[in-house]
Chains A and B, each alone.
Chain A
C-alpha cells in the first residue's frame, strides 16, 4: 500500500481518492466500507446503470452535521410534516434530499423500488431537490425507509420547508413572459419585412400587416411590461429614481408614438423595436432569476437542532418537541447529538464539541454539575441533563433570533441607480431642449423628435449590463466555491477595503491537524497498534491519530470505550490505551489553547503523549498576504492566543484575541466608523452579529448545510485561499459594468443625436436597439468570463 499509487486510485463509487482504507472489491476500487456496501446493494438490485450514467456519482457516507436520527421520522409531529397522505397501509412522503446532484442520483432515487419491494414508486423533483416516495408502511416503516436512503447516501433532511414548493426556481410567469415576448418579437419582425425591404403595398399587404403588428403590440405593453411599470411607479411614489423609470418612459413613448404614426398614417411606427426591447429586457430578467436558482438561503435554525429530544420521566424516556421542554426537565443526549437548550449535566461525562457555535472541533470535557450551552454536540456515550432555559430563551435561540435584523446592511448606493438618475434627467433635458428647438423651426416636428429621443434613449443596454455582469460573476464564483445570496453582494464586495477574519474554524481546517510527536517515541509496530486502536473509536482525536499515523490496521480485540477518558483494547495480545493523562497513568502536562493531548499507555506503561494542534488551512497564508496588498486585514478570535504561523501572516494586520461575539461586532463598527467597507469571514453562530454588522458577511463551511442567515455568502472551506481572487472578480465586475455603460451610452448618444436631428427612422431604431443590447450582453459575458479565467493562474 504505497501512498503514491494510492493517490492515483479513485473510488469507483464516490470518486474520492482512496487512502489507507482503500479496498478492492469485485475488481473495483473503493475508498471505504460505506461505498463498498452501497455498491453491493445496487449491484444485487441490478442497479449498476447508476455508475454508467455519470462517472463516480456516489456520495460518501459521513455523519452529516444536520442529519437527524432516523427514529425521529417515526414521530407524529415530524411524520405529519412529511407524509402527504396515508391510506390502508400505503403512504406517500416528501423528503428534502439536497445531496442529489446528477442524472445518476435521479435515476437511482427513482428506482428505489428495485432495492426494497415495499417501496411502490419514488419520484424526484430535481429543481426542488425533493424525493416523493410511495411505500407500504406495514412492510417498511418510515424510519426504516430513511435508514435505507441514508444507506445509499441520500439521507433526507428534516427541514421545515420540506413540502414547500419550488421557491428557488425561476418564476413561471417569467417563462411565460419570455415565450410571449419571443413570439411577438419574431412575428412583428416578420410582418415588418415588406416595410424593411420597401415593398410596394400590393393587395393592401402592408396595411394588413400593419394592423396585425398593432394587435401584437398590445400584449407587449399590457402584459410584458407590467413589472417595469410597477417598479417605476414604486420608485416615483418613494421619490427615488431607479433604472426602470427611463425604461417605462421609453416603452410608453415608443408605443404611443407608434400608435400615433399608424393611426395618422405617418408611418409604420416602431413596434418591432418595442417588441425587441422587451424581449431582451426579459432575457436579462430571466438570466438574473436563473442564477439565483442555485442557492437556497432560507434555512431555519431548527435544521441544525434535533427537533425532538428524549425526555426522561422516572425510568421511561419518551421523545418530545424541543419547544415543549420546560426548565427542570431531564433530557438524554446521545452520541453525536446536539444539546438543544442550555442545561446542567446531571450524569455521565460530557465531551462537548462546540464546533457548531465556536467552530472549535476539539471537544471540551464537562463533568457533572457543569453547565452546557445549547448547540454543543455530545461525543461519546449518552449523558443526562437538566434543562435550564426553555428553548425559546436559550442562547442559541437568542443568537439566531438576532439574525432577523441581519439583512439590514449599512446602505450603499447602487451604482446603477446613480447612473439611472443622471441618465433620466439628462434624457428629459435633451428631449425638452430638442422640443423647444424644433418649436422654433418647425412645430410639426416637435412631437416626433421628442418621442424619438425618448425612444432611442431607452436604456435597454443600460438595464442589461448590470444583471448580466453581476449575475454571471455570481455564477462563476459559485463554480469556484463562493455562493452569494444575490447579485447585489457582488457590488458590495467591489467596495470592500477591509477584510476581517474570525479565526476559529475559519483559518484552521477541521481535518488538517498537526500532530506533535515530540512527547513520545514508538516503534513502528507500536505505532500501528495505536493506529489500530484509534480506528475503533469515534472520538475526534482518535480519528486524527488514525489519519496522521502510519502503519497497517490490525485486529483489535475486546475494545472498551471508557466515556470521557479514553479507549482501551488488546492488539497482538498487548493491552493498549489511548486517552487522558489520568486514564494512561501519566503526568498532567500544561496544555495551550487550541492544543489537545492524547496519552498512550501500552502494556501497563505510560509511553508519552501526542500534542495535537490545529493547522492553518492550505494557502491561507499566501491569501492573507495578497489581501493585505489591496485591503486592510484584521483577525478577531475568541481564543486566548494565536498560533504562531497565523500570527506571522497577520504580523502587519491588527490581531485581537479573546473577543466575545459582542467585541467582534464592536470591532466591525469601529472599522466602519473609520470609513472602511468591511468584509467579514467567519463561521458558526457566535460571530453572526459581526457578520450581520459587516458590509459583506461570508460564512465558511465544510458542509453546505451549515449556513447562517446572517451571511451574504457561503464560502466553501476549501476555496478560502481564493478569497483574494473573488474580491478581484467583484472589482472587475464593477469596472465591466461601467465600461458597458459607456458602450450603451455611445449607442444612446448616436441614437439621440440622430433623433434630435430628426433622422430617426423605424429601420434605424429597429437596428440600433437589438444591436446595442446584444453587443453589451456579449461584451459583459465575455469580459467577466475572462476575468474569472485569469484567476486560474494565481
Chain B
C-alpha cells in the first residue's frame, strides 16, 4: 500500500530556466521601449517602432516570463502536494515545447505588425488557437495528476491553479473570437463598445487570473516551505480563495470609467473592485503573518526577503487598484503613467520578486546543492528593490502632474497647456528615471542569472526525485446528512437551477446578440470606405493605440482640448475598438479634419517638423510600401459578415472605390505641393485619420461636459 515513485524535476527545471531566459528578453525589450519614449531615434526600423515593441514587451513578460514561472511552480508543487508524479511526462513535454513555440511565434509576428489590436490579446488567430490547444494540454496534465493523487486533501494552492486554468481558458476563448481575413489578419467579432467591454473584462481578468491567482497559489506553497512553517491561517486562505473567485470576474468594467459604457456597468465595476480589497488583503496578511516569529530568518534568507517584498507589493497594488477604480481618482489617473507605475508594482514587484524567490529556493533543491552565493542573492534583492522604487515613484509623480496639466485652465477659461506635447516634455525626466530604474532591476536579474549558473555548475540535476506515499483507497462519502433524500434533493434542485440559469442566459443572448439592430446607432454614422478601412488596419498594425486614445471623456478639459466627447453609437463599425488605455500622445478621436492632409503627410514622415520636440517615431516605411489592395474585398466581405451594412456587391467594387478615394487624397496633397503616389500606405492612413470621429459632426452639437 505504501508506494514508491519519483517526482519529475526535469520538466520543472526546463520551465524554470526558460522563465529566466524569457524574463531577461522581455525586460530587455521593455527597457528598449522605455528608452524609445525619450530617444525617438531608437525606433530605428519599421519592425521596431514603439507601437510594435510595446506589445512584444507585454506579451513577453506576461505570457513568457510569468507564464513559464507559473508552470514551473505548478509542476513542482502539484507533484509534491498530491504526492504523485505528473500525470504524463509526454504531455508535459508537449506543453513545454508548445508554449515556447507560441512565444517564438509571438516574437516574430508582433514586430511584423500582425496584431489584433487588443491589449494583452494582440496575437493573431492562428497563435490564439495554438494557445488554446496547449492550455488544454496543461489542463489535462493537471487534472490527470489530481485524479491519480495520493493525498486526499487538495491544498489551497491547487484550487488557485484550477481556478486559473478554468478562467483563463474561458477568457481567452471569449475574447479571441474573431473572423479571419488572412493568416496574419483578423477582425474582432465584437464592435466598439461591446468589443471594449469584452476586451477589458478579459484584460482585467487576465491580470486577475494569470498574474494573481496562480501566484497566490505559488505563495501559499513556496512561502510556507521557505519559512518552514505552516501558513498563518489555513482557514483564512480557504475563505480568501472562494471570495476572490466569486468577486474578481465582475471587476472588469472599471477600466472603462467615463467611457461610452453604460453607467450602471461602470458602477458595477467600481463596486466589485472596491469589494476586492477585503479578500486581497486577507491573502496578503495571511502571507506576511506566516512569518510572524521568524523575522530573524527573513533577515538572513534572501528567498524570504523576496517573498516579503513581493507580498507587500501585492498588498499595495491590490489597495491601489480599487482606489483607482473610484471614479474621481480614475478621472485623474486614467490614461496617464500612474497606471503604468501601478501595473509595474504588480509586475516587477509581486510577480517578479515571487519568481526570483522561487528560483533561489528551487535551483539548489533541483540540483542537490547549496546556493552558490547568498551574498549575490542579497545584492540582487537590493538592486531589484531599488529598481522598483526608481521605476515607480517618478511615474507616479509624472502621471499625477501631467494629468493636472491636462486639466489646468487659465482664469479666463482657456487651457494652460494648449499643446499636448508641452505636458509630455514636462515629464520627460520621469521617463529617463524610469528607464534607469528598469536597467537597475535588469542588472539585478543578470546577477541572478550568474548566481544560478554557478549553482547549477556546482550540482547535478536530480531529474527524478524518489518519494513514497500511501496509496489512496476509495473514499466512502461520510457525513450522514448526505444520505437522506430530503437533503439531497435541494442539491439536485440547485444544480438544475444553475443549468437553467446558463440555458436561460444563452437563450436570452443568442437572438439579441446576432441581431445587430439592437445596437443603438447614430443616424449619421456610416461604415468606413475601403481606403479608410485599409488605413485603419495600418493604424492598428502600427500599434498607434499604445500611445493615442480614441476616447474623449466628458470633462470640460477634454472637450475643450479634443472636441465633442465620445458616444457609444460612434463605434459600431470599429472592429476592433481602438479606445486605447494610455496617452503618451494626444487623443485622436476628433483628429479627423483637424489638419490638412499635408500636415499628416509631413508629420508621419518626421513628426518633429510639425511639432518640434515630438517624441513620436517617424514612419518612413509608410511612404515606401505600396498598399496591399489584394485583401480589400476579403476585408469588406468579413465586415459584411459582422453585420456592417455594405451592399452585397460592394466587395467587388471595393478596390475601384479605394483607388478613386486614394487619388482624391493624393490630389489634395498635390495642391500643397506634395507629389505623393496614390497607392502608398500613407494615403490610406491619412484617409482614415481624416475620417476618425467626423460622422458625429453631422449631429447637432451637444457639448454637455461634466466639468
Contact = CB atoms under 8 A, between A and B. Distances in A.
Determine whether A and B are in direct contact in the complex, meaning some CB atoms lie less than 8 angstroms apart: yes
Interface of A: 49, 52-53, 55, 90, 103, 120-121, 134, 165, 171-173, 176, 179-180, 182-183, 186, 190, 193-194, 196-197, 199, 202-204, 208, 211-212, 215-216, 218-219, 222-223, 226
A183 B490 contact: no
A215 B499 CA distance: 10
Contacts of B486: 226
Interface stretch (B260-268, B281-289, B418-426, B445-453): B260-268
Contact of A219 (B272, B469, B490): B490
24 contacts: A103-B229, A121-B469, A134-B1, A165-B478, A173-B482, A173-B487, A176-B491, A180-B494, A182-B246, A186-B247, A190-B272, A194-B264, A197-B264, A199-B262, A202-B262, A202-B520, A203-B512, A204-B512, A208-B508, A212-B505, A215-B504, A219-B494, A222-B493, A223-B493
Contacts of B328: none
A199 B264 contact: yes
B481 A52 contact: no
A226 B512 contact: no
B228 A173 contact: no
Interface in B222-273: 228-230, 242-243, 246-247, 250, 262-264, 267-268, 271-272
Contacts of A165: 478-479
A138 to B, nearest CB: 16
A218 B271 CA distance: 26
B698 interface: no
Contacts of B243: 182
Nearest to B473: A85
B470 interface: yes
Q: Which of B228, B272, B501, B512 has the most CB of A within 10 A?
A: B501
A441 B185 CA distance: 69
7 closest A-B pairs by beta carbon, nearest first, are A223-B490, A199-B264, A197-B264, A208-B508, A173-B481, A219-B494, A194-B264
A216 B497 CA distance: 7
A202 B229 CA distance: 54
Nearest to A134: B470
Interface residues of B, number: 40
Given A49-B228, A52-B229, A190 B501 contact: no
A186 B250 CA distance: 11
Contact of A53 (B229, B493, B497, B501): B229
Contacts of A90: 1
Given A193-B268, A197-B267, A216-B501, A172 B481 contact: yes
B518 A203 contact: yes
Interface in B23-80: none
Given A190-B250, A208-B508, A179 B242 contact: yes
A204 B272 contact: no
Given A199-B262, A202-B520, A215-B497, A121 B470 contact: yes
B500 interface: yes
Contact of B490 (A172, A179, A222): A222
B476 to A, nearest CB: 11
Nearest to B479: A172
Nearest to A208: B508
A204 B508 contact: yes
Given A222-B493, A223-B490, A190 B268 contact: yes
A130 to B, nearest CB: 13
Contacts of A134: 1-2, 470
Contact of B481 (A55, A171, A196, A211): A171
B612 interface: no
A223 B294 CA distance: 46
Given A208-B508, A216-B497, A219-B490, A103 B481 contact: no
Nearest to A183: B246
B673 interface: no
A171 B487 CA distance: 13
Contacts of A53: 229-230
A218 B493 CA distance: 8
B496 to A, nearest CB: 9
B293 interface: yes
A122 B124 CA distance: 53
A521 to B, nearest CB: 52
B478 A193 contact: no
A169 to B, nearest CB: 9
B508 A223 contact: no
Nearest to B511: A204
A211 B512 contact: no
Nearest to B263: A197
Given A197-B267, A219-B494, 14 more contacts: A90-B1, A103-B230, A121-B470, A193-B271, A196-B264, A197-B263, A199-B263, A202-B518, A204-B508, A208-B508, A212-B501, A215-B500, A222-B490, A226-B490
Interface in B459-510: 469-470, 478-479, 481-482, 486-487, 490-491, 493-494, 497, 500-501, 504-505, 508
A196 B469 CA distance: 55
Contacts of A176: 491
A219 B497 contact: yes
A121 B229 contact: no
A9 B87 CA distance: 53
Nearest to A165: B478
Contacts of A172: 479, 481-482
Contacts of B293: 55
A459 to B, nearest CB: 24
Contacts of A202: 262, 518, 520
A348 to B, nearest CB: 48
Contacts of A193: 264, 267-268, 271
Q: Which of A180, A212, A215, A226 has the most CB of B within 10 A?
A: A215
A210 B368 CA distance: 60
B246 A223 contact: no
A190 B253 CA distance: 13
A188 to B, nearest CB: 11
A204 B520 CA distance: 13
B487 to A, nearest CB: 6
Interface string B513-528: 0000010100000000
B667 to A, nearest CB: 44
Contacts of A203: 512, 518
Nearest to A169: B479
Given A52-B228, A172-B479, A219-B493, A186 B504 contact: no
Nearest to B275: A186
Contacts of A183: 246
Given A180-B494, A183-B246, A226-B490, A212 B504 contact: yes
B660 to A, nearest CB: 38
B229 A223 contact: no
Contact of A223 (B242, B494, B505): B494
A731 to B, nearest CB: 32
Nearest to B242: A179
A577 to B, nearest CB: 51
B48 to A, nearest CB: 43
Nearest to B262: A199
Nearest to B231: A103
A218 B481 CA distance: 21
B683 to A, nearest CB: 39
Nearest to A123: B470
A534 to B, nearest CB: 40
A492 B263 CA distance: 55
B158 to A, nearest CB: 18
Contacts of A49: 228
A185 to B, nearest CB: 10
A49 B247 CA distance: 38
Contacts of B493: 218-219, 222-223
Nearest to A206: B264
Contacts of A211: 504, 508
Contacts of A182: 242-243, 246
A120 B243 CA distance: 38
A197 B268 CA distance: 10
Contact of A121 (B2, B478, B491, B520): B2
